[in-house]
Structure 1
Amino acid sequence: MARKTVGIRDVAREAGVSVTTVSHILNDVESARASDETRERVRATAERLGYGANRIARSLRRQQSEMIGLLSEEIATTPHAGRIILGAQQAARERGLTLVLINTSRNQLDIQRDTDALLRQQVDGVLYATMYHREIALPRSLQSVPTVLIDSTSDDGSVPSVVPDEEGGAYAAVGELIQHGHRRIGFVTNIDDVPATRGRLAGYRRALGDAGLEFDESLVVAEQSETPGGYKASLAVLDRADRPSGLFCYNDRMAMGAYRAAAELGIRIPSDLSIVGFDNQELIAEGLYPALTTVALPHFEMGEWALDALAALMQDDAATEAVASYEPAVLSCPLVRRQSVAAPAEDGASSSD
């Protein structure tokens, strides 16, 4: 007679492999390292023990759909942040979970409507990914289901969240300029008062302070965080006799505007001006000439972390009760070196002849 309950550990024991290997093979994880013989043995063992059928029966008994909802605030339409979805999807596959995606907007009515539509699919938990790092008000309907925020925090601190290390990323960006010998560094930043803006300014100031450099408020100019804003702010910073030899830009789109401003002023990159961006939007960073040194946001890792945290919440009642005590997880933002940074000219900040 078949066993009453068959779990993944039973399959692993019978097949002589690890639980992780079983999970990767049965969920067709592309990165799984296993021979064809091992794959066949695991699948045959799972079928013989009735593991697949048992999973379905168990989900029905527990009234779980084994589906996870991903409420994506315009993430699905932005190529640089789509890796959030890929990270969450890979982590879901490893647990035999299905990811259901709804792309919403920043309009509160749209968010509530799309949240309700997602919950009608009877998902077991929800990942809520925002367009960029900021504080949000969690839709009321999400308070009834395990939820994890990606690239944002809740205004009441009621749910787990994962965010990028904005300050650390900015510190690395400015540090790259300092290490190349730059001592006068401007900052073209975002006009919106959000955590990303505050964190990147803090990282800029800390990097200057740790290097013994004076903070000059006149070298910090805020505009809309798009290419036109970067162009306008960069003109204000660069069109002056005492212009900086290094420029840190709030994001790669603003850096693209900085390239245009530098070209109009006859300033060569990187021989006259070194520039570092933020976000690592590859279509921009690799497409600029010279290619832009920038800081990468950990989109894939944030998606992966959030799914892991949500799975833990769904399985642990104690974790759910203690959810209000969670502090946001902060993931590092690595520097991506390209060709936009060099040592300053010996005669200081001077434009091209």
Structure 2
Amino acid sequence: MSRKITMKDIAAEAGVSIATVSYILNNAPGQTISADTRQKVLEASERLQYSMNLAAQSLKSGKSGLVGILLPKVEPAWYWSAYKYAKAVALLEKQLMQQGYHVILSYYDLDHPAFDLVLERKLDGVIVFDVTEDIFTRISSHYGMGIPVVLMESYVADPLFHKVVPDFKAAMQQLQPDSGQQQASFLVMDAYHNAGMCAQIRRDAGLTAEHTHIYHSDEGLEQFLGDYRGKYGLVVNEFLASRVLQQHANVGVICTCGCPDLLPGSVRKAVFPESIYSKVTELLLGYMQSSEYRCEEEYIYR
């Protein structure tokens, strides 16, 4: 049986003191540790495959070291549903693990939301994607009292909670056709459960519901596109754009899944910066690690 790796081993590997390793791995507040030293310790921990005793850590610090990420189940499930948030979750998990936190991922049913899986665990913070007002009310009744909650891709009328949303308006301006060409005549997008999110995307595009198609089937998409032959349009979601491009070439694509390489190089596309996830992590860590942390922005666009 192999020997259990300890903080002493990590300290020797990283060339730092055992106390420094303990401060970093336990997210001890009030310690001035350089980013280089923190990175060196975390990399040494990963190389040695160090596994912290979360139960013991929780008893000692009063914190679980766990962050929950809640995602909506998509029904009906399109072929891209499993990949829609894959990159977002991977980036958030990487950033949180670098700070010593572990992630619990849970999908909730839109019709019968149940949060038993995450409620039975003591979470230090929660990130929620694309949530309706009603479901958010249920989530905030369980969390939010001393447990920070950050929303993504959601417009919710509650100033106590921060919402980090993609800057669709800036992305659409980036996709603006060359001077002299027509403006976008139509918008194709997959469904967001958060009604405010859908409405805001339409407003940013300057288009009404009449000129917007929410994808539900290939037949409906083909019928909609038939009214805009030769005209320039916008597509939200690169997986959906691959369907649109089979019938209509003159589009600009806003890549919401972080997979722009799915599309031909000739397609005009906008990609949101990974800093959007860094901002979520920054907010969550700020509130989890300091009772004095404050951010005045309710809606944060990236």
Q: Judging changes above 3 Å, is the alpha-carbon distance between structure 1 residues 236 and 251 closer, same or farther for their aligned structure 2 residues? A: farther
Q: Judging changes above 3 Å, is the alpha-carbon distance between structure 1 residues 184 and 94 closer, same or farther for their aligned structure 2 residues? A: closer
Alignment of 1:232 with 2:223, yes or no, is yes
- The 1-side partners of 2:182 and 2:172 are apart by 16
Conserved 8 A contact 1:171-1:203: no
Structure 2 gaps, min length 5: 1-17, 25-31, 75-79
Alignment of 1:23 with 2:43, yes or no, is no
Which residue type is aligned with residue 101 of structure 2?
Answer: L
Residue aligning to 1:188: 187
Deviations 1:147-174 (A, max 9, x none): 111222433232122110022112222x
What secondary structure sits across from 1:143 in the alignment? coil
Residue aligning to 1:155: 157
- Tell me by how many angstroms 1:57 deviates: 6.7
Residue aligning to 2:300: 329
Alignment of 1:278 with 2:254, yes or no, is yes
- The 1-side partners of 2:81 and 2:242 are apart by 20
Bigger Cα Rg: 1
Conserved 8 A contact 2:164-2:299: yes
Structure 1 gaps, min length 5: 12-16, 29-38, 45-51, 206-214, 263-268, 332-353
- Tell me by how many angstroms 1:237 deviates: 1.6
Residue aligning to 1:314: 288
Which residue type is aligned with residue 66 of structure 2?
Answer: M
- Tell me by how many angstroms 1:24 deviates: 2.0
Which residue type is aligned with residue 167 of structure 1?
Answer: K
- The 2-side partners of 1:185 and 1:161 are apart by 27
Question: Superposed, which structure 2 residues align to 1:107-256 within 5 Å?
Answer: 107=111, 109-110=112-113, 113-114=114-115, 116-130=116-130, 137-138=136-137, 139=139, 140-144=141-145, 145-173=147-175, 175=176, 177-179=177-179, 181-183=180-182, 185-190=184-189, 194-205=195-206, 221-226=211-216, 228=218, 229-238=220-229, 244=231, 246-252=232-238, 255-256=241-242
- Tell me by how many angstroms 1:126 deviates: 1.4
Residue aligning to 1:99: 103
Which residue type is aligned with residue 299 of structure 2?
Answer: P
- The 2-side partners of 1:97 and 1:281 are apart by 24
Which residue type is aligned with residue 69 of structure 1?
Answer: G
**Percent identity between the two aligned chains:** 14
Deviations 1:50-76 (A, max 9, x none): xx89x9877533311112122222499
Q: Judging changes above 3 Å, is the alpha-carbon distance between structure 1 residues 117 and 255 closer, same or farther for their aligned structure 2 residues? A: closer
Residue aligning to 1:261: 247
Conserved 8 A contact 1:150-1:161: yes
RMSD: 4.1
Deviations 1:129-149 (A, max 9, x none): 238xx7663422123322111
Which residue type is aligned with residue 223 of structure 2?
Answer: K
| Count of residue pairs brought into register by the alignment | 265
Please identify which structure carries the higher helix content.
Answer: 1
- The 1-side partners of 2:221 and 2:237 are apart by 9
Which of 287, 292, 295 is matched with 2:270 structurally?
Answer: 295
- The 2-side partners of 1:150 and 1:77 are apart by 17
Which of 79, 84, 87 is matched with 2:88 structurally?
Answer: 84
Conserved 8 A contact 1:167-1:199: no
Residue aligning to 1:72: 71
- Tell me by how many angstroms 1:224 deviates: 2.1
- Tell me by how many angstroms 1:80 deviates: 3.8
Conserved 8 A contact 2:258-2:271: no
